[in-house]
Amino acid sequence: MDITNLLKLHFPEAEISFDGEDCNSKVLIVSRQFDGLSTIQRHKLVLSTLKDFFQTGELHALSLITKSPSEMS
């Protein structure tokens, strides 16, 4: 399973855009699941989803932008 599909599985209603390749990747996730969470809590939620990709070395670094829908207005 690739990273985008895994994120869509864990954040099914989210808008997700993934840019980059290898260790220069950036992802923007806009999800209602982030309502009321701090940036650190949001990042922990996403990074825990991708833990296996980091452990296998498939992902080395990732720039995260996590927003709730209300923050995009």
pLDDT tier at 63 (50, 70, 90 boundaries)?
very high
How many domains is the chain built from?
Answer: 1
pTM over 0.75: yes
Range of the domain at 7: 3-72
Res. 2 pLDDT band, cuts 50 70 90: confident
- CA pair distance 64, 52, nearest whole angstrom: 17
More confident call, 56 vs 68 = 68
pLDDT digits (tens, 9 = 90+) for 6-46: 999 999 999 999 887 756 688 999 999 999 999 999 999 99
Distances (CA, A) of 8 to 14, 49: 7, 11
Q: Residue 54 pLDDT > 70, yes or no? A: yes
CATH label of the domain that carries residue 59: 3.30.300.90
pLDDT of residue 1: 60
